[in-house]
Structure 1
Amino acid sequence: MEDSAHPKRSVTVADVAKAAKVSKATAARVLGGYGVVSAKITDQVMAAAAALEYRPNELARSMSTGRSGIIGVVVGDIENAFFSLAVRGISDAARLAGFNVIIANSGEELDAEKSAVDLLIGKRVDGLIVTPARCDSIDHLQHVRRAGVPLVLFDRAIPELDVDAVTGDDRDAAITATRYLTGQGHRRLAYVSAMDAEDDGLTDIARISNSAVRERVEGFVSVLTEAGLPNPLHYVRLGATNQQQTDGVIKRLLSDSAAPTALLASDSLVGLRIFKSLQSLGLSIPKDVSMISFLDADWTSVTVPPITIVDQRVYEMGKLAGERLIARIERTPLAVERLRVSTSLVVRGSVATIGR
């Protein structure tokens, strides 16, 4: 029986070389995948490595090759189905190209994001995909650029950084969803977001530091403005960060003298919270209140009624971000771009037609 106080020593390249009866340099070439070695010697070395259960020292290999074979990904909220789908797309793209992925969750907190970026850079990742918590605080991302580490932004764009960004077509998506609601006769609409705020009201769109949220709000407000509806910013509500906060936001909205007849949820977590809030108030969708949610999360198609959603093609967004970062790592000559992935409205049963 192996003595647990004295664990087995790690197998080294020298051990593999000795077992294969070759020089250490030859074994290193075979195991490192560089240089020219005959097929016979390669087979000998690989057989010895397998027999000894040799595992390469990734740090040593990265020091010698300049590559770790690892991509770092920092997302806003891994609990959110949006980011889970995105990570799957990124991981699939990475695996096809021979890369592994390390995932960090910022919780949409700037300090946590900075710590995650520092940690991943310290692990010598070959490139980073980051969903920035704020688009107005970017010193840590500028540092990534100065360090020469390829960087792709996901879901949010920061033009000042001069790096690729993969996003949805957020403004157009909000316009499409809002126009659908006004087309069904709704004249009092509210947009509800989880973006943190001191209060749930909004007086200035420029204050929104998250580019995706800002562009959706711009789209929402533009439709209400073109329809001649008064005070559209009054119906933009922030701070639906958990169920309790969302309950408060919805109660305040629906107690307004001009309560909205339809709600647009910024993402599927907010949408689910709104759904629960309306249920707890004894309100029926869409009889009492209509709603649309961003993201085709699993729950949206199995509720009664099923929820009309904005399909953001998030898996494709993630895969595209992964492919773009790998192209940067491989130094493929490409112009810096913001790559917008188109969205579509999937109409189900959560929007009533009124006033006809």
Structure 2
Amino acid sequence: MTDLKEVALRAGVSRATAARAFASPDMVRPHTREQVFAAARQLGFRPNRLGRQLRLQTTQLIGVVVPNLLNPVFAEQFQSMEQAARARGYNLLLATTDYQAERESEVVEELLRQRVDGLVLTVTDARSNRVLQSLAQEDTPFVLAYHQPENPEYSAVSVDNRAGMALATRYLLQAGHRRIGMVAGSALQSDRARLRYAGYREAMHAAGLEALPLIEMPAHTQADFATLAPWLHDPQAPSALLCSNDLLAISLINELRRNGWSVPRQLSVMGFDGIALGTQMHPTLCSVVQPIAELAHTLIDQLLAQIAGATPASHCLPCQIRPGESIRPLEETSDDPLA
């Protein structure tokens, strides 16, 4: 079996230089580093990272927990995080929970068995989460993604969910809408959705208008027309609907059109996330945009800082409105929902 000494001999460098090329490539001149790597390829040599990890008490692994990858928000986040982590010499291990609180404990425990150096977590509810309480007691470095935790001991990177949905509500108000409703998953199953509903209510009240009760869908990202229908035929039916996330908004538009309703002519629909898919549909989706790439890079920076000994910190990034064809000014919309 080829060893490091043979690689060094083939590359014409010392064994120490060859070892440094693999362990700390930035500390070796590019030409020399390439000589070592070329020799390793020719000889079929791969360095034993496990031995180095044991010596340094680090695996260079980061555990990432997201609800699922069906929502492009989390897929886009993971891709950007992977690029940022790789540039810093780390790799990611991914686990999904499908919005199940009991599953969170299982996947976090499994990642800890893999000896990850830290965790990036998106959980169902950060306020009373046993997993987070346990991690904090064990001093395991972790950063929350998308959450705005009340506990100052929790590190987090998010957008201001409440302010973002208030911004979306004002956007609809400025377009002339007064009967505005909000659609979310069952019982506001995530703390992000609860904050977004609070932002909607605050903006409506600030405008002197009544906030409608939440329109609850059976699933977090999937609309159901039968649930929505009673609201559409009410004498005070909404002229616009805010959705707690973009996938729910896209699903809602499809359900409406499938059942003979026109968006935005009869009903305006707005999402929250700003996923790229929203720009590729017809009508294009108006949405509150989260800076996903910036958020992902900030998550990695914050976690690595904690791994190095920094105290937990929270970052709240700004969001903005992405205009789209799914919104129409009310004065251009017929008063008759069936017109």
Superposition TM-score tier, normalisation by shorter sequence: 0.7 to 0.9
Q: Deviations over 1:240-281 (max 9, x none)?
A: 4354x5323322321334221101111111011111111111
TM-score, with normalisation over the residues of structure 1? 0.80
Percent identity reads: 28
**From 193, 200, 203, the counterpart of 1:220:** 200
Matched letter for residue 268 of structure 2: S
Contact 1:89 1:319 (C-alpha < 8 Å) held by counterparts? yes
Establish whether residue 178 from structure 1 lines up as the match of residue 158 from structure 2: no
Q: Structure 2: 5+ residue runs without aligned partners?
A: 10-14, 333-339
Q: Deviations over 1:212-256 (max 9, x none)?
A: 2121111101112222323x251443534354x532332232133
Cα separation, partners in 2 of 1:186 and 1:54, compared to 1, 3 Å:
same
1:131 matched residue in structure 2: 122
Matched letter for residue 340 of structure 1: C
Count residues with an aligned counterpart: 324
Q: Structure 1: 5+ residue runs without aligned partners?
A: 1-10, 198-207
2:23 matched residue in structure 1: 33
Contact 2:158 2:317 (C-alpha < 8 Å) held by counterparts? yes
Please give the residue correspondences for 1:1-356 in structure 2 after superposition, counting only pairs within 5 Å: 11=1, 15-17=3-5, 33=23, 49-160=40-151, 162-194=153-185, 196-197=186-187, 210-230=190-210, 232-241=211-220, 243=222, 246-331=224-309, 333=310, 335-355=311-331
What is the deviation of 1:343? 0.6
Deviates more, 1:301-310 or 1:183-192: 301-310
Matched letter for residue 220 of structure 2: T
Q: Deviations over 1:96-155 (max 9, x none)?
A: 111111111111111222111111111111111001122244222232233332111100
Whose relative contact order is higher, 1 or 2, with alpha carbons under 8 Å and at least 6 apart?
Answer: 1
Between the aligned partners of 1:19 and 1:316, the Cα distance in structure 2 is: 40
1:8 matched residue in structure 2: none
Between the aligned partners of 2:50 and 2:104, the Cα distance in structure 1 is: 24
Matched letter for residue 226 of structure 1: A
Between the aligned partners of 1:211 and 1:281, the Cα distance in structure 2 is: 31
- Report the aligned-residue RMSD: 3.1
> SS state of the match for residue 234, structure 1?
coil
Matched letter for residue 147 of structure 2: R
What is the deviation of 1:209? 6.2
> SS state of the match for residue 79, structure 1?
coil
What is the deviation of 1:60? 3.7
Cα separation, partners in 2 of 1:44 and 1:260, compared to 1, 3 Å:
closer
Deviates more, 1:210-219 or 1:52-61: 52-61
> SS state of the match for residue 330, structure 2?
coil
What is the deviation of 1:50? 4.3
Cα separation, partners in 2 of 1:56 and 1:20, compared to 1, 3 Å:
closer
